[in-house]
Homo-oligomer: A and B are copies of this chain.
Amino acid sequence: MKCKGRVAIVIGSKSDLEYAERAEKVLREAGVETEVRVLSAHRDPEALDQYIKENDGEIDVYIAMAGLSAALPGYIASRTDKPVIGVPIPAGPLKGVDALLSIVQMPRGVPVAGVGIGAAENAALLALRILRVAGKCNG
């Protein structure tokens, strides 16, 4: 399967980089254009806002990864109408349970697509399924 399209991978902290790279690898092998940005919803909100505003038109799907109180996926979802996939990172003593709940338990109106704790590859595969529905994949 080969796909076109652009997927933005946003992580809340440099320490989550290995997860971002695992998602990126799956997407690149499918031919998708990807970019990884380290932009915390809590520490870099203005840079994150600017990144979304400037790039949202070209992005098909966001993958947002964060641990602990994982506000990042919901933050992006409230600023775009593109699909946002959230990956809870198993950081800290609660091993990602906190991040999982923060990611999926969104209020009505702002959906995030949560995948399993640490499931970077599945996030990428879910993005590919969305690109395929959009007619951007063949094979």
User: Considering the chains assembled together, what is the distance between the CA atoms of A78 and B61 in angstroms?
Assistant: 22
Q: Are B82 and A129 in contact (CB under 8 A)?
A: yes
Main secondary structure of the interface of A (DSSP, over half): loop
Does A64 make an interface contact (CB < 8 A)? no
Q: Are A104 and B100 in contact (CB under 8 A)?
A: yes
- Nearest-Cβ distance from residue A72 to partner chain B, whole angstroms: 10
Residues on A facing B (Cβ under 8 Å): 12-13, 40-43, 45, 60-61, 68-69, 71, 74-75, 77-79, 81-85, 90, 92-98, 100-119, 121-123, 125-126, 129-135
23 A-B interface contacts by CB (under 8 A): A41-B75, A41-B78, A43-B107, A43-B109, A43-B110, A45-B78, A45-B79, A69-B71, A69-B106, A71-B75, A71-B102, A82-B133, A92-B116, A93-B117, A98-B105, A104-B119, A106-B116, A109-B122, A113-B113, A113-B115, A114-B115, A130-B133, A131-B133
